[in-house]
Amino acid sequence: MKVLLINGSPNARGCTYTALNEVATTLEYHGVETEIIQVGHKDVRGCIACRKCKSTGKCVFNDIVNEVAPKFDSADGLIVGSPVYYASPNGTLISFLDRLFFSTAFDKAMKVGASVVSCRRGGNTASFDMLNKYFAISQMPIVTSQYWNMVHGNSAQEVMQDLEGLQTMRTLGKNAAFLIKAIDMAKGEVSLPVKEERVGTNFIR
């Protein structure tokens, strides 16, 4: 069992990493392998809606999105972390996620998903909601914690003083490990939901 953790911050060891590392340490303790991948410092452009991925199976821009895609396919869960900029996630991370989710055709249903946000003071819940929508539209069970998955601080050192935030990260890790194991166990006992052929409704006739 493995979880990918995506660091959307340009700072490799900053606030967002500190939160993700707390989650990863807890997952590892509970027997789930982890890998933290930093994307916030990469030159990642947004989707141009060329739809080339629908025929090639990968994004037309051959960058970190295509590198992470097969890891996402084989992982049991995806946890995304972002700093808060103007009450929204890092723009580089959003471009990465838009292209990652759109260009990958593999079934994401029942992979667990969670988002983590880091802020100095405010804008965190708006960012948190925005990131969770990637999982909700992909039939990925969203892992929750004892509070919204956020830490506060203007530096990694300050985040380490946010005891409630760090506890929230540990609870998130425990819940994610449990849910991944429960889903894996259930696959041997209960059939996954049968999917209907996708129906698309357009409202302009």
pLDDT tens-digit readout, 117-173: 999 999 999 999 999 999 999 999 999 999 999 999 999 999 999 999 999 999 999
CATH of the domain at 69: 3.40.50.360
CB 81 within 8 A of CB 37: no
For the chain, the domain total comes to 1
Considering the domain boundaries, does residue 197 fall inside one?
no
Task: Compute the average pLDDT of residues 58-86.
Answer: 98
Which segments of the chain are extended strands (E)? Answer: 2-7, 33-38, 77-85, 88-89, 112-119, 150-152
Considering the domain boundaries, does residue 201 fall inside one?
no
Calpha distance 131→121 (Å, rounded): 18
What is the percentage of the chain residues whose pLDDT exceeds 90?
93
Residue range(s) defining the domain that contains residue 139: 2-187
Considering the domain boundaries, does residue 193 fall inside one?
no
What confidence tens digit (pLDDT) does each residue in 5-18 have? 999 999 999 999 99
Confidence grade of residue 60 (pLDDT, cut at 50, 70, 90): very high
